[in-house]
Structure formats: structure tokens, C-alpha cells
Amino acid sequence: MWERVRKLRVTRRMLGRLLIAAIGPATKKAIVKHGLKVKMVPEEYVAEAVVNKLRDKVNGKRVVLIRAKVARDVIPEELRAAGAEVDVVEAYETAAPEKSRARLHTLLKNSARRPHIVTFTSSSTAKNFAELLSHGKGGPPSASWLKDVQFASIGPVTSATLRELQMPPAIEAREFTMGGLIRSIVLARYAETCESRAIDPSGE
């Protein structure tokens, strides 16, 4: 979006009149870095939470939604139902490099190098992962390649996609951010270590 703003010579002063909502703290940080103020960040970093915060404030308003090419339509549909005029602008798309297929196959077929945990930060990462492991034919990856591998999800939307792909997550972040995902993985591994050693993780 910022690349396009520069090309169109849109000034910060023009953008300063906008009321800006960000899906989460990382997005807010990226906006603030460019000198703009963020009016709203939902308590949960998912589309439904954004809608809940904005639904009563958008009747008769014009809204621009900057998002990925492939995304759920929860925000535009719900805000339109609440009386807003919504324009959806696709700012980026995710694509899996073809060379990643061979790299993943090599990694997961080798039991000595196979990761203990695979992390997913969006539904598109889950879908691309499954596609890369399916030899391009669709469907879930080979079960033998995923033996003893745990899946860690950044949040409930990504978790739902993983379940649809027959790759249910063992770990789900409580806070839907990269930091939250890391903390959930650390806590899960610590709990497993305590269990294996018959230690109460509460310290009692």
C-alpha cells in the first residue's frame, strides 16, 4: 500500500483525516511507523473482532479494506450489512515457490531431519503447505511424512483450516500474534517435559 501511495503522491496530510483500524499490533506498528495514528485494534486479532468493534460506527461511512488477494469476506460483508460502503483493495497475495516442494519433500521424508513442530501463521500457509506436500494433486500430505510432527497454529481461523486439511493443530496461540505463537509453543514443550519427568508445571 505504501508503495502505491508514494507513486500516486498521496500526502500524509491527506491520509491524516482517516480513521484507521488495524487487525493487530504488528500491523499497527507498521502504520505508526509511517506517521499515522491507529484509532482501533481489536482485543482478538481476527476479522470477527474487527467487525464487532466497527459495526455500530460505519453506517453511512465509506470504508477501504486493504487485505490479501485471498481472504475471508467476513469484514466487507458484515460492514456492508451495517450500512457502510466498502471498497476492497487487494494489496498482496501469497504464493508458494515451486522450489519449496522439493525442499519440503526432502526434509520430511528424512526421519532424522524431520521437524518436531511446524508453525502456521495464516490459512494460506496451511493450504500451501498441504499443496506442496501433495505432489500437486490436492488432498492431505502423506501421513508417513508427518509422523511425530506437531502442528502449531497462530489462531482459531488457521486452526480451522488445518482441521479441514486433516492436519489438526496440537498447539494454538492464545494471543494471535507471532509472539503469542512462540510463547504457546514454549509452554507446550515445557508441559511435555514436565509430564515426561513427572513434574508438576505449577511448581507444587
Residues 80-130: tens digit of each pLDDT: 999 999 999 998 888 888 789 888 888 888 888 889 999 999 888 998 898
Counts of helices then strands in the chain (DSSP H, E): 9, 5
Beta strands in the chain (DSSP E): 62-68, 85-92, 117-120, 150-153, 171-172
Q: Which CATH architecture has domain 99-196?
A: 3-Layer(aba) Sandwich (3.40)
Domain ranges of the chain: 2-92, 99-196
Phi, psi for 86 (deg, rounded to 5) = -115, 125
pLDDT confidence of residue 38: 94
Q: Select from 106, 93, 159 the least CA-distant residue to 132.
A: 106
**Could you check whether 2-92 and 99-196 share the same CATH topology?**
yes
Name the grid cell of 164.
Answer: 479441514
Residues 150-201: tens digit of each pLDDT: 999 999 999 999 999 989 999 999 888 888 899 999 998 877 777 666 555 5
How confident is the model over 72-79, as a mean pLDDT? 91
Spatial separation of the C-alpha atoms in residues 147 and 150, rounded to whole Å: 9
CB 162 within 8 A of CB 141: no
Assigned CATH for 2-92: 3.40.50.10090
pLDDT confidence of residue 120: 96
